Structure 1
């Protein structure tokens, strides 16, 4: 397992990690990951920082699959070039750690969050190789919701795309930005894919069937923003 593999593994399993650690243990883990971003291109310092991350995760249950995969990671003796992670991957992991108040997410809430994520991942979606045009070049800039499946990797819910052209629906892009989907993709996806008492249907099912302004108004009401 490479350092980049480890970064991706941690990114995908943050809710599981939080559910398995106490608030204090998770705060130590957060600090250890932040320190990864401070060592620059110093290979030795990076090895020490990676070792600290792994030590913070030792409280994970030994039978836990994530713990077993983490045990496969060994940085000792690796060349510095092989140790340094991709800067974008590390930045994304740190951004996710700072975008949610993780230490206050108790294990029961974490279990509920995992259930919501499992439900959202059952919705039809496409992989990054199926994106076209500007969306393929920069999905985040295109205003697309990206969900991460532990097995399949990045997934983009189908409701975001015109079935004929494959291009993103402009109203979906607009509402995704309104819902801050780049910071909370799961929350934005849940708004689209759950029943809405105001709209009396699932918002995703109404794209193209009701006026765009109605969908946008419903989303704006949720976030308290009338500037749509």
Structure 2
């Protein structure tokens, strides 16, 4: 089995669950504009930038918005979202996250975040996970969103690792495509398993420990 020196995690839907906060914020904006918005539409927004998300929402809008108007609504959505994030706590963590991160760190794996969110640092702070990660690559330092590999390429650069030495953990098809485009293996979790792009499919978060432990066993057997 291939050896990985680092694991790069998407944030929303992998480390924690922020869908309900995104949904509530976008719903308020859509209602104000007069656009139909439901959970099915919200699911299409996973892993893409704010502007791309808003363009998807606007598919049901009969009017026209200029760029400054779009920026106004995107900013308003983010302001609502950030206010909602103040309610985040450890109950929003995915199952087995802390124990798995502890295990990976104990095995000397570098850990990084690769997320299109511009609120990644705030979210990690709310969840008490800020000290777990060696680097954060997020919407504040990228110009292209997934499936472009930029966010993961930069994460690898920040931790001084070649992309081929990194394993990406993703819950969205766009994220898996980004990892593959960046020359990285990927572990699919949640809805992403069904798309069949993952190098590994995780049943639970702690499967990462098994994957990395098997690497160590293979290395030991070769000695």
Smaller-chain TM-score range? 0.3 to 0.5
The structure richer in helix per residue is: 1
Higher relative contact order (CA 8 A, sep 6+): 2
TM score, norm. by length of structure 2: 0.33
TM score, norm. by length of structure 1: 0.33
The structure richer in strand per residue is: 2
